[in-house]
Amino acid sequence: MLLIFPRQCAALYVNSKDDFINFVRHKYHIAFIIYHCLLLCLFSQTFSKMSHKNNEEVDSLNNSVRSTSRVLSFFNKSKEVIIDNEVKNDSAILECDPELNTINKNERSYVESNNKLTFNVVFGKITTKKHKTWDSDGLLEVLGKNAVLKDLDGSIIGRTTVNPQCLNEGFRLFIASKEVEIINLVSHDVNLAGNTCKSIEDREPPRKKFKTSNTGSCLLAGSFKKSSEITSEALIMPSFCTKIDSIDNINPETEQQVSVDACLTNVLRPHQRDGVIFLYECIMGIKIENNFGAILADEMGLGKTLQCITLIWTLLKKGPFGKPVLKRVLIVTPSSLCNNWKKEFIHWLGSHRIFPFVADSKNKPQNFKRQPRSQVLIISYEMFVRSYEEIKEINFDLIICDEGHRLKNSNIQAAKLLQEIDCRKRILLSGTPIQNDLQEFYTLVNFVNPIILGSSTEYKRYYESPIIASQCPYASDDAQFLGKDRAKELRDITSPFILRRTQEIISKYLPRKHEMVIFCQLSEKQKNLYSLVIDTWFDNMISEKKPTHLTIITALKKICNHPVLFTKDKDNFLNNNPTFLQLIKDDNALNSNETEYCGKITIVRCLMRNLKKTDEKIVLVSYYTQTLDFFESICNAEGLKYCRLDGSTQNVARMKIIEQFNSKTDDSKIFLLSAKAGGIGLNLPGASRLILFDSDWNPASDAQAMARIWRHGQKKSVYIYRLLMSGTIEEKIYQRQISKTNLSEVVVDANNLSSLKLSSSELKDLFTLTLNTDSLTHDLMNCTCCDEIILNESSDECDDINKKEYTKNIIKKKQSQQNLTINQLLDWQHYRKPFADNMMQELMLKQVSKHISFIFKNTITEKYEPS
């Protein structure tokens, strides 16, 4: 776009903000600007007469700025003014903070009604230096279009005319040879009608003193006050010197407070403030001397990204001893989340403050070094491995590994190479840091704090072996005692740098969440196929090649999803089995409707149909793309528009699909999601219901997938359905998951460990089909809620002999042992048939009640504060 400014011949080509900054950086153009500044001074008289006219032009330019997000430059008196896309950035913050939103609306009405606005500002000499040094805090008072810059004693420094609509946080202008940047709105006076508006002053006190020796480009670094002067809104990092006894060459007197900018403190939730302080203390070596790593293991959706962004932004600008702590930061993340990180940076900080560099096929990591204004490199694990040679040449002060549980296996290439990078400050982010065993825990801890647990052999001898030995069912009292002792010691050593908060923390900002585990019965055909497969395994009947355990597991899981997924599979190992061929023949003869066979599919279809009558959307998650294909055919049959994200979806397309689905204008009702390809990190609050159609061995993968919709931005009550076929391998996997979840809690926040290796009897149990049960999981719990019903059912009047025997056995089993300690499920509500109509109506499952045998339900209902 070519802009010609009045007479003073400032003509600039500005196509984007980047163009503008490149333009300014170029020496030739700097000379060009200085030349025109001189010209401007010469013609200042004439120019001053023009200023009013200029303001009108600015108004119209400003409109175009909002719509195009481009940076424009114009001259007002002898001062250059930059209009940024701040309006857009602000609105991003406002969306999340209803209070601020109100203020801003009020602020607009003030502007319109010509009242006085007062802004906190920082100002300094006009300079073209890369890192600006602000000399002082000040106040900018604006009445109508007249602005007065004052120092903190109230002395006038200069005046100018402005367009009040532009005066948003981060906006820069020039007044009386000073460059001024707006920090925030402090107050506006009572208007003539006597209405008062809540002042931002209530949230953030005006700054009084500014210590100039701190850092370069300092936005809010002005608030170096004693802690007692700071309101609860300000966020000041803990003092370095009071926590660490003695540091060579450092005079504690020179320590300065490190405060977080108001643009971030305004949005941080309380747990996030704590998280930022935790991260600061870890990476500064305050928590544990000579160790600079942290594991932030908050559950999904708690905003780990924002906590890291806050830390990065603060320490790129500030430090306790004058210099910023960080110069360059490396963020390694799954490829699907690279652009999400960039989006979050821009969302919280605005595009004028930070320039994250996302490495991809066009933007090579080696170019990062040539971009002085980019201090943050975001790269995928795969690209990191490919570009390791170039990356290791760059000095990074902090490494963040998102979804860091990927590094749990020290043999994977990315883990090895990341360990090699010469950078002591390391943060690992993960919803679930410990998923499988103590060895993995060691790998993760060893990555962030390499010396704390000693060598792998030492760790194994001292911690791992005694802990595992103590879990053995026949462990002696001594072994048990030693194991517990070592587990405690391990927890004590590692807990200072591992932080884990649960989702309950965000429940007060989110609407209700209903979680259900829904049990369905196998159809006759499913039962026959299932029995055939397990008989094959038990009898070892296959002549040519014996199917592996994995083949059997996959076959059973497919049958549970839908028989067709197994029968139509060309590689199916029963293809030559006469009983199997007979089954298929009978089925073809019956010509029955495929989608009617299976309880789970019936439930999906019922939900889809009911959804049509509402404005709700649903996410359907499966680990099998074949199952997603199946869902597609149901969507088509039902005439429902859908989006799909699986392993074949390009990275660039992913962000678009997600944004489209989340937008209010989009009319697709269904999001088909492959748990493997897109389970982690994605935000899908556009949907209010989610079905986890099949489960993984790893509880973390399922939890990741189920956490996609109960996120910030969700406005509706959320319903999460996990579907399980009663008595089948699906239930066994689920039960095993529960013990695994317990394991993940062991070192982080629980007291004991359990060994999870599959013995041959466990394998046998896995492949045993339990018929006549509504929910095997419930049967095995030490729960008395349904005992009365079971006893009645097992009375002499009961016709079904098998069922009678089974229920008697179960009661015996429950009395003799507490087989499953599914404590979490004991707290949930338990429902048996007949289900109440109103509940099934709410779950949108009324029409398929007969296909459901049992329901566990849990509702999280914290106070909902709409945002």
Ligand X SMILES: Nc1ncnc2c1ncn2[C@@H]1O[C@H](COP(=O)(O)OP(=O)(O)OP(=O)(O)O)[C@@H](O)[C@H]1O
Given candidates 298, 397, 696, 779, which one binds ligand X under the rule CB under 6 A?
298
Q: Which is nearer to ligand X, 569 or 745 (CB)?
A: 745
Instruction: Based on the shown chain and the rule CB under 6 A, indicate whether residue 304 belongs to the binding site for ligand X.
Output: yes
CA dihedral 620, 625, 630, 636 (to 10 degrees): 70
CB 437 → ligand X: shortest distance, Å? 21
Distance of CA 198 to the CA centre of its chain: 32
Identify which range of 135-143, 264-272, 457-465, 785-793 contacts ligand X by CB under 6 A: 264-272
CB of 683 to ligand X, least distance (A): 4
Q: Is the dihedral of CA 545, 549, 551, 557 positive or negative?
A: positive
Tokens representing 303 are 């905003």
- Contact flag: residue 711 with ligand X (CB under 6 A): yes
User: Which one, 498 or 634, has the nearer CB to Mg ion?
Assistant: 498
Q: Which of residues 83-142 bind ligand X (CB under 6 A)?
A: 96
Q: Closest Cα to residue 406, out of 427, 433, 438?
A: 433
**By CB under 6 A, residue 683 contacts ligand X:** yes
Contact 808, 815 (CB under 8 A): no
- Which does residue 707 touch among ligand X, Mg ion, none (CB within 5 to 8 A, set by kind)? ligand X
Among 206, 222, 303, 350, binds ligand X (CB under 6 A): 303
Task: For residue 712, state whether it binds ligand X (rule: CB under 6 A).
Answer: yes
What binding mask, one character per residue, do residues 402-441 give for ligand X by CB under 6 A, x or -?
A: -----------------------------x----------
CB atoms within 10 A of CB 190: 12
517 bridge partner residues: 722, 856
Stretch that binds ligand X, among 354-362, 531-539, 594-602, 711-719 (CB under 6 A): 711-719
Q: Which is nearer to ligand X, 344 or 464 (CB)?
A: 344
Could you please report the per-residue DSSP string of 345-406? HHHHH-TTT---EE--SSS-HHHHTT-TT--EEEEEHHHHHHTHHHHTTS--SEEEETTGGG
Q: How far is the CB of 360 from ligand X (least distance, A)?
A: 20
Q: Which stretch binds ligand X (CB under 6 A): 46-54, 303-311, 616-624, 651-659?
A: 303-311
681 binds ligand X (CB under 6 A): yes
Q: Which does 433 bind (CB under 5 to 8 A by kind): Mg ion, ligand X, none?
A: none
How far is residue 731's CA from residue 71's CA, in Å, rounded to a whole number?
58
Which residues are within 8 A (CB) of 108 and not within 5 positions of it... i.e. 6 or more apart?
Answer: 165
Quick check: 14 and 29 in contact, CB under 8 A?
no
From the list ligand X, Mg ion, none, which binds 401 (C-beta under 5 to 8 Å, kind-based)? none
User: CA 175 to CA 306: how far, in whole Å?
Assistant: 34
Kindly state the smallest distance separating residue 305's Cβ from Mg ion, in Å. Answer: 5
**Alpha helix stretches (DSSP H) within 97-220:** 98-112
Q: Does 273 bind ligand X (CB under 6 A)?
A: no
Residue 339 CB, shortest distance to Mg ion, in Å, is 13
* Residue with Cβ nearer Mg ion (149 or 311): 311
Work out what residue 399 binds among ligand X, Mg ion, none; the CB cut-off runs from 5 to 8 Å by kind.
none
Rounded Cα distance, 618 and 690, in Å: 5
Least distance in angstroms from the C-beta of 222 to Mg ion: 32
- Cβ proximity to ligand X: between 720 and 810 the closer is 720
Interface pick for ligand X out of 50, 218, 262, 268 (rule CB under 6 A) = 268
Torsion of CA 416, 421, 425, 426, to 10 degrees: -30
Taking residue 67's Cβ as centre, other Cβ atoms within 10 Å add up to 8
Residue 563 in contact with ligand X, rule: CB under 6 A:
no
Cβ–Cβ < 8 Å for 270, 313: no
Neighbours of 77 (CB within 10 A): 20
C-beta closer to ligand X: residue 172 or 269: 269
431 binds, among ligand X, Mg ion, none (CB under 5 to 8 A by kind): ligand X
Minimum CB separation from ligand X for residue 711, in Å? 5
306 touching ligand X, by CB under 6 A: yes
Compose the 310-349 pattern: x for residues touching ligand X by CB under 6 A, - for all others: ----------------------------------x-----
- The CA distance from 274 to 279, in Å, is 9
Give 144's contacts (C-beta < 8 A, 6+ positions apart): 114, 164
Q: Does residue 676 belong to the site contacting ligand X (CB under 6 A)?
A: no
Instruction: Work out which of 302, 315, 619, 769 binds ligand X, going by CB under 6 A.
Output: 302
CB 721 within 8 A of CB 692: yes
Q: Are strands 498-499 and 852-860 parallel, antiparallel or unpaired?
A: unpaired
Return the number of the residue (350 or 681) whose C-beta is nearest Mg ion: 681
Q: Between 336 and 794, whose beta carbon lies closer to ligand X?
A: 336
CA 345 – CA 331 distance, rounded (Å): 12
Number of residues engaging ligand X in binding (CB under 6 A): 21
The answer to whether 607 and 618 are in contact (CB under 8 A) is yes
From candidates 115, 187, 265, 305, binder to ligand X by CB under 6 A: 305
Closest contact distance (angstroms) between CB of 199 and ligand X is 22
Regarding 707 and contact with ligand X (CB under 6 A), the answer is yes
List of residues contacting Mg ion (CB under 5 A)? 681
C-beta closer to Mg ion: residue 282 or 429: 429
- Where would I find the H helices in 82-188? 86-96, 98-112
Burial class (CB in 10 A: 0-12, 13-18, 19+), 268: buried
Q: Which is nearer to ligand X, 610 or 674 (CB)?
A: 674
Which DSSP letter does residue 546 get? P
Site string for ligand X, 214-253 (x = CB under 6 A): ----------------------------------------
CA distance 750 to 754: 12
Cα–Cα distance, 43 to 658 (Å, whole number): 53
3-state secondary structure 226-295: CHHHCCCCCCECCCHHHHCCCCCCCCHHHCCCCECCHHHHCCCCHHHHHHHHHHHHHHCCCCCCCCCEEE
CB of 557 to Mg ion, least distance (A): 28
717 binds, among ligand X, Mg ion, none (CB under 5 to 8 A by kind): none
Tokens, residue 72: 């424009």
Which 458-477 positions form the footprint of ligand X (CB under 6 A)? none
**β-strand 618-622 against 670-674: which pairing, if any?**
parallel
Site for ligand X in 344-383 (CB under 6 A): 344
* Smaller CB separation from ligand X, 98 or 252: 98
**Nearest distance, CB of residue 295 and ligand X, angstroms:** 13
Q: Where are the alpha helices (DSSP H) in 727-849?
A: 729-749, 760-766, 776-779, 787-793, 801-816, 823-826, 837-842
Q: Residue 297 or residue 855: which is nearer to ligand X going by CB?
A: 297
Q: Which residues, at least 6 apart from 859, have a Cβ–Cβ distance to it below 8 Å?
A: 512, 513, 514, 515, 829
Please report how close the Cβ of residue 503 comes to ligand X at its closest, in angstroms.
10
In this structure, are residues 95 and 178 in contact, taking their beta carbons and an 8 Å threshold? Answer: no
- For the CB of residue 662, give the shortest distance to ligand X in the complex, in Å: 10
* 267 binding ligand X? (CB under 6 A): yes
Q: Which of 17, 178, 207, 269 binds ligand X (CB under 6 A)?
A: 269
Is 807 near ligand X (CB under 6 A)?
Answer: no
Query: Nearest CA to 435 among 677, 694, 703?
Result: 703
Report the residue number, 291 or 714, with the smaller CB distance to ligand X: 714
Q: Which stretch, 59-67, 512-520, 709-717, 767-775, contacts ligand X (CB under 6 A)? A: 709-717
Residues that bind ligand X (CB under 6 A): 96, 267-269, 272, 298, 300-306, 344, 431, 681, 683, 707, 711-713
